[in-house]
Amino acid sequence: MTGLLVFGRTGQVATELARLAPDARFLGRDEADLSDPAACAAAILAARPQAVINAAAYTAVDRAESEAGLAGLINAEAPTAMARAAAELGVPYLSLSTDYVFDGSGDRPWREDDATGPLGVYGATKLAGEQGIAAAGGQWAVLRTSWVFSAHGANFVRTMMRLGAERDELRVVADQHGGPTPARDIAATCLAMVAAMQGDRAKGGIYHYSGAPDTTWAGFARAIMADAGLACRVTDIATADYPTPARRPGNSRLDCSAIARDFGISRPDWRAGLADAVRELQA
């Protein structure tokens, strides 16, 4: 997509965007540091793109608990500044968000209009970013997704394949539920949404997008071992048996009917994306 400006270069979704949209311009940290929101806005105004995607974020969930200021700059203030700059130019702006804006209660998939209630700093900063983007005054979209994976970057699939090759058994949390989402499908969805927004000024808002079928981390781990041909045994444990600095939501299921209705985009089967990622990693 020509005329597209993307914040992010090395992250999972940015890497897949570069594969799908090689004509786009990608800004890494050297050109646009998200801890400097004014510089991010200036980069948009200087580039004068036809659309902007923010695929960069502070994603270290546990470290965010002790780096709230930095996480807030990157996840809330920078996306807000970007959205204002895009609004000034009159071009669509899309930013990625997360299931962590919810408190993870219950077992019903979360809808876009459900009450938010982040459990930690990461979710709170992403929610603040959503609110700033919505208030910026332009044409905007926020895509909430979950359990992102690919053949590159730091993610669950790569960790499980590495540990599964080293160990006979792994203990994996089995009481957190959600939809693993291939980064490649997220990238394709971002491009489709931005193209639709360019064609219709009324399109935009908050949308959910995650892989199907919903599973648990332990279920996902077993699928990884099977696809990778690893004999490592996966044993179910409770969240309480694996304490972390930041609390994780127990229910990360996302209702993705709105994006299907408004953009014609359906949930991807994560098992196909997993097979592709495993093949790429083993190659």
How is the chain classified by DSSP, letter by letter?
Answer: -TTEEEE-SSSHHHHHHHHH-TTSEEE-TTT--TT-HHHHHHHHHHH--SEEEE------TTGGGG-HHHHHIIIIIHHHHHHHHHHHHT--EEEEEEGGGS---SSSPBPTTSPP--SSHHHHHHHHHHHHHHTSSS-EEEEEE-SEE-SSSS-HHHHHHHHHHH-SEEEEE-S-EE--EEHHHHHHHHHHHHHHHHH-TT--EEEE---BS-EEHHHHHHHHHHHHT---EEEEE-GGGS--SSPPPSB--B--HHHHHHH--PPPBHHHHHHHHHHHHH-
User: How much of the chain exceeds pLDDT 90, in percent?
Assistant: 98
Domain boundaries, the chain: 4-155+181-213+253-270
Architecture of domain 4-155+181-213+253-270: 3-Layer(aba) Sandwich (3.40)
| 2 — pLDDT class (breaks 50, 70, 90) | confident
Q: Rounded mean pLDDT of 17-45?
A: 96
Q: What's the one-letter identity of residue 200?
A: D
| 1 — pLDDT class (breaks 50, 70, 90) | confident
| 193 — pLDDT class (breaks 50, 70, 90) | very high
| 271 — pLDDT class (breaks 50, 70, 90) | very high
Sequence-separated (6 or more) residues with CB below 8 Å from residue 103: 116, 117, 118, 119, 249
pLDDT digits (tens, 9 = 90+) for 87-118: 999 999 999 999 999 999 999 999 999 999 99
| pLDDT confidence of residue 41 | 98
Q: Rounded mean pLDDT of 209-231?
A: 98
| pLDDT confidence of residue 258 | 98
Q: Rounded mean pLDDT of 180-185?
A: 98
Q: Rounded mean pLDDT of 158-184?
A: 97
N- to C-terminal Cα separation, the chain:
29
143 has a pLDDT exceeding 90: yes
Mean pLDDT score of the chain: 97
pLDDT digits (tens, 9 = 90+) for 228-253: 999 999 999 999 999 999 999 999 99
Q: Rounded mean pLDDT of 270-283?
A: 97
Find where tokens 């982040």 sit. Answer: 118
List residues with catalytic annotation: 122
Strand partners, 96: 143
